[in-house]
A and B are shown apart, each in its own frame.
Chain A
Amino acid sequence: MNLVVTGLGAAVSVSGVAAVAAVVLPPRWRPGVVGAGMTLAGCAGAVAGGWALAGRTGHAVLPALLPLGTARIDVDALSGWFLLLVGAVAALVGVYTAGYVGRSGTGASSRTALAALPLFVAAMLVVPAAGSVSTLLAAWELMALCSLLLVVAEHAHAGRRGAAVRAAGVWYAAMTQAGFVVILLGLVWLAAACGGESFAALRDAAATVPGTVRSGVFVLTAAGFAAKAGMVPLHPWLPRAHAEAPGHVSALMSAAMVSLGAYGIVRVGFDLLGGGPSWWWVLLASGGAVSALYGILQAAVAVDLKKLLAFSTAENTGLILLAIGAGGLFADVGQPALAALAVAAGLLHALNHAAFKTLLFFAAGSVVHATGSRDLDTLGGLSRRMPLTTAAFGVAALCAAALPPGNGFVSEWLLAQSLIHALPPASTLNAIAAPVAVGVVALTAGIGVVTYVKALGTGFLARPRGARAAGAREAGPVMVIAMALAAAGCVLLAVAPGLTTPGLARTVTIAMGAPARGLAGGTAGLALPGVAAVYAPMLIVAGLVVLGVGVAVVVRLVGRPRRRAIAWGCGNGPQSERTEYTATSFAEPLERIFDDVLRPEHDVDVTHYAESAYIVERVRFRRRVPDRVEAHLYGPVRAAADRAGRAARVLAAGSVHHYLAYGLVALLIVLVAGVIR
């Protein structure tokens, strides 16, 4: 028993106690106790992860825990990286939860929703620590079930809101279970081929498994893990679940759970299978690239604040998967050091994304808490009314837009560096894929800036566009503390990315078997000595401060005295908030440019007076940007499932005798199959 296993055990025990407390305590105490439990569990998990990143490993075997199998815990640096990520996010979310859910005892503060929260955290901590197929699958399923409960926490809401929550729950349940099934098939297939189910056994035997089985296992598991990561076209659950879940749940899911999809792919693809042919990784990287572009385009035209953040999650996981795919490709064509750099960029982006997305969902949650609205077109004016939330959202938006000195820039810079230095190319495929990938990263970053300028500008600045935004009040002190802590995490990752390099190097060595090429870190920044690339965020921050102070001083000394004048409204009276830019109008040019991709729907409905066709009584304008991928891909599937379900009604005639006969027939089939084998 070392600190890794002790920390993990403590995290799981504290989570269990918190879950029990949520059931037995009165509503008044619940949020505080559950929040404290989550924070403690998260801290313990993060300590275990940090210890694993420092080079320790942890093993534990719990023989009687799972039916039909032994639960194995096997923590290495790769597990440690994700333990740290999940633990840190869970600790922050614990603080936020205490202030966010309220004490009503219904919805997000109901007994079930609060008991599921610590269990969700525990499951997410066990997933990266799992050391065998059955342990991983059990934790994965527990994670899926808890998150489903949390997504539908507000299902009892009246009207359209409640219906949307229920629809999100159905989508999420269907897709997450389908993902679980393909992961299960893939891993069980691998375990059967290797003749053992512990990861150590798989690792040893994987090289002897035939290529078709390896490819089948990779495609199945990658599909399941990518569905959890929200990769297009497996994403439709993501904007729904993230938008309809309560704020703290969105933060947990988007920042922590989604990253575990990337963990699964790295663990199975690199660590267990030991890499594979180029086409695996090109498939993964193209999925990631499409995901990044499609996600950020949908985010740029979204008017629902949380839907915008959800699509931005799809974008960021797309970039992570692109990095992992590029890493696999480079490894296959014989550039192991470069491959390690690409995977390092992906893993670092997972951590950075977790940091800023936690903060973004915290801020979005406190906006929803204060205004009851997620519609950017009716928000605005929050910078005066909620200055701290606005500041938090501003910090996170800078990071998420991948602009220096934000932390999103660090990992996207690393990714671009690894792709650029794929030259001279080792193969034709490489020569085509790498420049295209650089273009994807650049375009994604560009549209990302538009997206977050829109979110901050129309959501928080200017004047309120609706009564509810006008009456907004700042979030409570506990929520503000949680946001401040998350912002501190973002700033730390942004100005001192060098702190992560020792752990990152160990993680990548586990995954790739080779350290990242010349990735050197220090307190000042990151350097890639081999290719003469240096990123020093401290210098950028210092430069920005000097520039800002310098301009302010020069303006004060040289400039003329200021005169306040009216806002220019073409000579007309004070402008109403109806003349402000809205989220829709801000994104309209982009919507036009990417018309062929997004296919927005516009609907103008003009009603005339009965007396004359020349006098208009009412004009109704409706605009919607539907999710084309979802409509074209899932529409037919849903229709077919619907038809099959209706046809199968013949079987369910309501007669008990029939049902007993079905059971008997099924049993006979199983027995016959067993005997024949």
Chain B
Amino acid sequence: MARLGLISRIRRTGRLAEAVPERAGGGVPDLGGSVQVRHVDAGSCNGCEIEIGQAFSPVYDAERYGVRQVASPRHADALVVTGPVTRNMAGALRKTYEAAPRPCLVVALGDCARNCGVFAEGYGVAGAVSDVVPVDVEVPGCPPPPGEIVAALRGLSGR
């Protein structure tokens, strides 16, 4: 009986979710509510990686907004790039972008990805992500908190 009461309460309450965020601007195409993401560590200190891990953890659960991480750029709609692009990773980043099907969105995640952060003008740094591949969305922060990462990804998926 108690269980029945719970179910009817759920039905009465209906769906509770945050409002759909505003779609990321700047010519980002409609991906139909599903974004497959390939993460590229271009030379990060791993701070951003920990926060990405949190964003996909059960607490923030980015997957419920239609965002999935995939293991190959061949399957990806978007690349999430972290860290300043080091000289060793510049070629690999370019190849990853080349290997992904079009349209391929690029998310520069964290201050280092946006403008090299504290590593700017380091001897091993080739430049910011936008110096190597075209960037569509930027997520500021050092590192950006998981909530903001989720918000940025929701901007791509539109859910």
Q: Which residues of A contact B (CB under 8 A)?
A: 560, 563, 565-566, 568-572
Q: Bound complex: CA of A571 vs CA of B93, how far in Å?
A: 7
Does residue B83 face the partner (Cβ distance < 8 Å to A)? no
Decide if B92 touches A566 in the complex (CB within 8 Å).
no
A560–B102 alpha-carbon span in the complex (Å):
10
Nearest residue (CB) in B for A571 is B92
The CA of A571 and the CA of B100, in the complex, are separated in Å by 11
Kindly state the separation between the CA atoms of A568 and B96 in the bound complex, as whole angstroms: 8
- Chain B, 1-36, CB within 8 A of any chain A CB: none
A565 pairs with B92, CB closer than 8 A:
no
Find the A residue at minimum CB distance from B100.
Answer: A565
CB atoms of B102 and A566 under 8 A apart: no
Shortest A344–chain B CB gap in Å is 49
Chain B neighbourhood of A568, CB < 8 A = 72-74, 99
B91 contacts the other chain (Cβ, under 8 Å)? yes
Q: Does B131 lie at the interface of the complex (its beta carbon under 8 Å from any beta carbon of A)?
A: no
Least CB distance from A573 to B in Å reads 8
Interface string of B74-89 (1 = CB under 8 A from A): 1000000000000001
Contacts of B89 in A (CB 8 A): 571
Q: How far is the CB of B106 from chain A (nearest CB, A)?
A: 15
Complex interface: chain B residues within 8 A of A565 (CB): 98-99
Tell me how many residues of B have a C-beta within 8 Å of chain A: 12
- Does A563 lie within 8 Å of B102, measured CB to CB? yes
| Contact surface of B with A, Cβ cutoff 8 Å | 72-74, 89, 91-93, 95-96, 98-99, 102
B74 — which chain A residues lie within 8 A by C-beta? 568
Hey, which chain B residues are within 8 Å of A560, CB to CB?
102
For residue A572, which residues in chain B have a CB less than 8 angstroms away from its CB? 92
Question: Most B CB atoms within 10 A — which of A566, A569, A571?
Answer: A571
CB–CB B95/A571 < 8 A: yes
Separation of A633 and B81 alpha carbons in the complex (Å): 62
Cα-based distance from A565 to B96 in the complex (angstroms) = 10
Q: Is the CB of B91 within 8 A of A571?
A: yes
Beyond A566-B95, A566-B99, A571-B93, list 4 extra A-B contacts (CB 8 Å): A560-B102, A565-B98, A566-B98, A568-B72
**How far is A566 from B73 in the complex, measured between Cα atoms in Å?**
12
Bound complex: CA A443 to CA B74 (Å): 34
B36 → chain A closest CB, angstroms: 15
Shortest distance from the beta carbon of A579 to any chain B beta carbon, whole Å = 15
Q: Which residues of A contact B95 (CB under 8 A)?
A: 566, 569, 571
Most B C-beta atoms less than 10 A away, residue of A565, A566, A570: A565
Q: Which residues of B contact A566 (CB under 8 A)?
A: 95, 98-99
CB distance from A555 to the nearest CB of B (A): 15
A-B contact pairs, 20 of them (CB 8 A): A560-B102, A563-B102, A565-B98, A565-B99, A566-B95, A566-B98, A566-B99, A568-B72, A568-B73, A568-B74, A568-B99, A569-B95, A570-B92, A571-B89, A571-B91, A571-B92, A571-B93, A571-B95, A571-B96, A572-B92
Q: CA separation between A16 and B92, bound complex, in Å?
A: 69
Query: How far is B95's CA from A128's CA once the two chains are assembled, in angstroms?
Result: 65
What's the Cα separation between A70 and B89 when bound, in Å?
A: 86
Report A-chain residues with C-beta under 8 Å of the C-beta of B96. Answer: 571
Among residues of A, the one whose C-beta sits closest to the C-beta of B73 is: A568
CB distance from B92 to the nearest CB of A (A): 3
Shortest beta-carbon distance from B83 to chain A in Å: 14
Bound together, the chains give a CA A565 to CA B102 distance in angstroms of 11
Q: Which residues of B contact A563 (CB under 8 A)?
A: 102
Expressed in whole angstroms, the minimum distance between the Cβ of A596 and any Cβ of chain B is 33
Q: How close is B70's CB to chain A, nearest CB, in angstroms?
A: 12
Closest to B74 in A: A568
Closest to A568 in B: B99
In the assembly, what is the distance between CA of A569 and CA of B72, in Å? Answer: 10
CB distance from A575 to the nearest CB of B (A): 12
A571 and B73 alpha carbons, distance in the complex (Å): 10
| A572 to B96 Cα, complex, angstroms | 9
A570 to B74 alpha-carbon distance, docked (Å): 11
A566 to B72, CA, bound (A): 13
Please give me the residue from chain A that is nearest to B94 by CB atom: A571
State the CA gap A563–B96 with chains docked (Å).
15
Shortest Cβ distance from residue A559 to the other chain B in the assembled complex, whole angstroms? 12
Complex CA gap A563/B74 in Å reads 13
Chain A residue, CB-CB nearest to B93: A571
Q: In the assembled complex, how far is the CB of residue B72 from the closest CB belonging to chain A, in whole angstroms?
A: 6
Q: Which 9 A-B pairs have the closest CB atoms?
A: A571-B92, A568-B99, A571-B95, A565-B99, A571-B96, A568-B74, A565-B98, A566-B98, A566-B99
